[in-house]
Amino acid sequence: MEHCFSLHKAPSLSSFLPSLGPRVFTPSNSPSDFALSRRRSLRTGFTSTPFNGRKAPSVKASAGASHCDFSSLNAPLEPRSAPGKFLSGVLQNQRQFFHFAAADELKRLSDDRDAAVARMFVSLDSDEACLHRRIAQLKEQECQAAVEDVMYMLIFYKFSDLRVPLVPKLSRCMYNCRLEIWPSKDWELESIHSIEVLEVVRDHISAVIGLRADSSVTDNWATTEIQQLHLGRLYAASILYGYFLKSASSRHQLERCLTLVHQKRLNLRNSLQFLDLLPCGIKSLVLGRFIDVQSVPLGQGPGRQEKDLEELRCYVMGFDPETLQRCAKPRSKEAAHLIERHSCALFGDEQTGIPQTDEVIRTSFSSLKRLVLEAVAFGSFLWDIEEYVDTVYKLKDN
């Protein structure tokens, strides 16, 4: 069964359009240094996984009678900076030390930038002020490109931890304008979301590609046609949607926790005031019942899960335009630029920022779902990485 697919209602993303010597990581073998490194790993929010004996992430993209096998890192976006290339090598050869190396690179980039800025301010009244100002500008640009590569490698690590390889450049995966991505990895990509967020993600998939959550296998493998430019915009917009959901759900959880704490304190205060008015015997009886009630954790009970789903949906739909824009917009320029670079590298030419062709490609709804789920996961991971990196290397406000 074939369908004709149109994306006239798909959100457009302006950032997808045109815009503006090897090292070896050798950690110390001393127990004290390793314990220190271990504690640093815990602060990054990642888990360290031994790489020995594990195969590098790979993806097979089949198309018609031909197919392409992709192994190693093979991400659509290749690191351009020395720190990015260095971390790429560490991830492939010394995976267990990747987070320590990434933290060291971020600290070094922050120190280099701060040193250049300090020299610029010290030389303000000297004849070399103009020179040091230019050096600081160049160092800022160099560090921004490097930190974007570090962020990208951190995101790639999260995907590899799920054993989900990023889809490579689409130009390598198509045969006679036919694109199929296999295996789909739907379960792994959905596993990163909470139940309430996953339901919203499924609503997004149904809205943008017309595939319901309860679709049959036949519906999943039905073919459709889509312009490559529209597919690129859909992918980039889904990254922003994943970023938005992570931001909104985190904000929702924080506000709900604050509300529950406030409500608990209010109920406790009112109950104690009520108990002071009771006679001693009745007071003991009521106090025992009150303690039993307080022992039940807040937020538990029948129908709580369904209520959470409706709460998140209603919470997101209740955003005013200003709040909606603030949650959907990347907080840093580095994150916004990284979304643009990754999308352009996947669907087109990273140098020019436009797709190589605007041809109509034929693919299955299963492959479209795979791309959308990957994009949403990319946006969710980007939110986490951006928050961590900003604690070590101060990112530019977007």
The pLDDT tens digits of the residues spanning 293-323 come to 444 444 444 455 555 556 777 877 777 778 7
Buried b / exposed e along 40-79 (16+ C-beta atoms within 10 A): ebeebebebeebeeeeebebebbbeeeeeebeebbbbbeb
Instruction: Note whether 192 and 103 are same-domain residues.
Output: no
pLDDT number for residue 52: 41
Does residue 379 sit in the same domain as residue 328? yes
Checking if the pLDDT of 374 tops 50, the result is: yes
Q: Determine contact, residues 69/61, Cβ cutoff 8 Å.
A: no
Last residue of one domain, picked from the residues 162, 182, 200: 162
What average pLDDT is seen over the chain? 76
Which residues make Cβ contacts (< 8 Å) with residue 188, sequence separation at least 6? 162, 163, 164
Share of the chain above pLDDT 90, in %: 44
Looking at residue 174, its pLDDT comes to 82
Which pLDDT score, from 0 to 100, does residue 326 have?
A: 78
Same domain, 382 and 358: yes
Question: Could you tell me if 128 and 184 lie in one domain?
Answer: no
291 belongs to a structural domain: no
* Inside any domain, residue 49: no
Lowest pLDDT segment from 224-228, 284-288, 310-314: 284-288
Which structural domain range is residue 150 located in?
Answer: 72-162
Helix (DSSP H) and strand (DSSP E) numbers for the chain: 13, 7
* pLDDT at site 323: 77
Residue 111 confidence class, pLDDT cut points 50, 70, 90: very high
Q: Tens digit of pLDDT for each residue in 130-162? A: 999 999 999 999 999 999 999 999 999 999 999
Of 84-98, 138-152, 201-215, minimum mean pLDDT range: 201-215
Choose the final residue of a domain: 162, 178, 205: 162
Answer yes or no: is pLDDT of 2 > 50. no
Q: Is the pLDDT of residue 30 over 80?
A: no
Contact 113, 101 (CB under 8 A): no
In terms of domains, do 98 and 149 share one?
A: yes
Q: Among the three residues 162, 190, 210, which one is the final residue of a domain in this structure? A: 162
Strands 360-364 vs 178-182: parallel, antiparallel or unpaired = parallel
Both 140 and 222 in one domain: the answer is: no
User: Are 87 and 214 in a shared domain?
Assistant: no
> In the predicted model, is pLDDT for residue 49 greater than 50?
no
Tokens of 303: 């129908």
- Flag whether pLDDT at 41 surpasses 70: no
Q: What percent of the chain has pLDDT over 70?
A: 67
Same domain, 227 and 154: no
pLDDT score, position 9: 42
Are the C-beta atoms of residues 242 and 380 closer than 8 Å to each other? yes
Count: domains in the chain: 2
In-domain check, residue 212: yes
User: Looking at the structure, do residues 121 and 187 belong to the same domain, yes or no?
Assistant: no
Residue pair 103/42 in contact (Cβ under 8 Å)? The answer is: no
Residue 219 sits in the same domain as residue 320: yes
Residue type, 214: D
Query: Mean per-residue pLDDT for 373-386?
Result: 96
Together in a domain, 152 and 116: yes
pLDDT of residue 157: 96
